[in-house]
Amino acid sequence: MSASASALFIAVFLACAVEAVEAVTIVLAAGTARDWRSAGTGTVSALAVLAIVVAILGPAVAAIPITTLRVIVGALLLVFGLQWLRKAVLRASGHKSLHDEDKLFAEHMAEAKSQTARRFFLAPDWYGFTLAFKGVLLEGLEVVFIVLTFGANAKNVGLASIAAGCATVLVAAVGFAVRAPLARVPENTMKFVVGIMLTSFGVFWGGEGAGASWPGSDAALLVIIPAVALFGLALTWLLRRSPGGKAGSAGGASADLAAQGVR
């Protein structure tokens, strides 16, 4: 597998895994607090809607000229990537509270338990159905966007789809095996890495779409990705020593990220 194909697979896998963690957490809360049949019906319904969206948007994205697509997608990836990277850096440096999947699960559980039961179609409980449907649909739409844009730009939608499928199946299997929030998954570490990957691909594809010629072609990603990673770690190191940040350990920002899982 080439360097660009490997980078594509890793970027799509991690980005989709983050979205899958959030979707599975919501479905688990709906099934545990309300009714598993309703949560399952909501999940299947959302997946059906997503399949229709893919059938409609897939050909439309493929019809856009590749140069135009790379400029548009490059800009979007930069926006999303820098946003994810910014939040991960702020969390790692102590300027933003760490993401707590247990807290998110508890909040969904409390909200679900407070609602009265109402039957809806094949679902014994309307609220459980709606909660699962909304969670899977919203997170699934982000997965669809990631697969279509990354795959179309790299002219390898198949590989992007496989990466997304692997991430989704793995996270779902783990989540439903333990029937608990995926609190042990280092989600913020994944978001830090995904932010780096999205930003790097945004720079690469945006530059190509604007007419730039990267030295080494796809191999330039092997330089761009580490450069963005070092930039993110440097920002973390600096912010940890600014007012409101945490004092760094002797190992520096990278050691702290590994120790805390950038949770």
Which tens digit of pLDDT belongs to each residue from 186-230?
Answer: 667 777 888 888 888 888 888 887 888 888 777 788 888 899 999
Q: How many residues does the chain have?
A: 263
**Alpha-carbon Rg of the chain, whole angstroms?**
20
| Range from 18-22, 27-31, 118-122 carrying the lowest mean pLDDT | 118-122
Spatial contact of 108 and 30, defined as CB atoms under 8 Å apart: yes
DSSP 3-state of 185: coil
> Which residues are CB-contacts of 226 (< 8 A; sequence separation ≥ 6)?
none
What's the average model confidence in pLDDT over 160-172? 90
Whether 159 shows a pLDDT value over 60: the answer reads: yes
- In the chain, pLDDT over 90 holds for what percent of residues? 7
Which residues are registered as beta bridge partners of 126?
A: none
Per-residue pLDDT reduced to its tens digit, 23-41: 888 888 777 777 778 888 8
Would you list the domain boundaries of the chain?
Answer: 3-257
Q: Which two tokens stand for residue 220?
A: 């330039």
Give the whole-angstrom CA distance, residue 39 versus residue 260: 33
